Amino acid sequence: MTDAPLICVIDDDVSVQRALVGLIVSMGYRCVGYASAEAGLTSGHAQAADCIVTDIHMPGLDGFDLKQKLDARGSSGRVIMMTGRSDSRLELRAQEAGAFCLLRKPLHAGALAACLSRALGKSTG
């Protein structure tokens, strides 16, 4: 399990964050969770992660701010953004920010698994 990719989940809704960490661990990945972008950055896990799964809308640094800070720090991890909002402009904004993909809440396990596999360069078939 130590060679498994590290995924960092950042969501201010702690129940969502914990559920995602459990789901991602059940998929065979290592996973850590944080309730804020600031906490993820301070820990060093966000920069070291192979993939970051982050909510867009959070107090303090939002998902777009987080992506910008990760880029500035030279992080090579792919960023998957999540939102519970139905604003169609978020898709374009996430793409322009360099997000690997944008998932809508409530998340479907299959969509998350497929996006993680693609982000990490693994075959889904």
The predicted model scores a pTM of 0.94
Tell me the CA distances in angstroms from 75 to 7, 11, 19, 33, 97, one per residue in order: 13, 19, 25, 17, 14
- Looking at the DSSP bridge assignments, the partners of residue 104 are 83
- Averages of pLDDT over runs of 10 residues in the chain (125 residues) are 89 98 98 98 96 98 98 96 92 95 96 97 63
**60, 36 contact by CB (below 8 A):** yes
State the DSSP string of 39-94.
Answer: HHHHHSHHHH-SEEEEES--SSS-HHHHHHHHHHTT---EEEEEES---THHHHHH
Q: What is the pLDDT of residue 114?
A: 97
Q: What is the pLDDT of residue 123?
A: 52
Q: What is the pLDDT of residue 125?
A: 45
Tell me the CA distances in angstroms from 26 to 62, 88, 115, one per residue in order: 27, 31, 15
Residue spans of the domains in the chain: they are 6-119
Q: What is the pLDDT of residue 2?
A: 67
Alpha-carbon distance of 111 to 81, in angstroms, equals 13
**Starting from the edge strand earliest in sequence, which strands make up the sheet with 6-10, in order?**
30-34, 6-10, 51-55, 78-83, 101-104
Q: What is the CATH number of domain 6-119?
A: 3.40.50.2300
Q: What is the pLDDT of residue 22?
A: 98
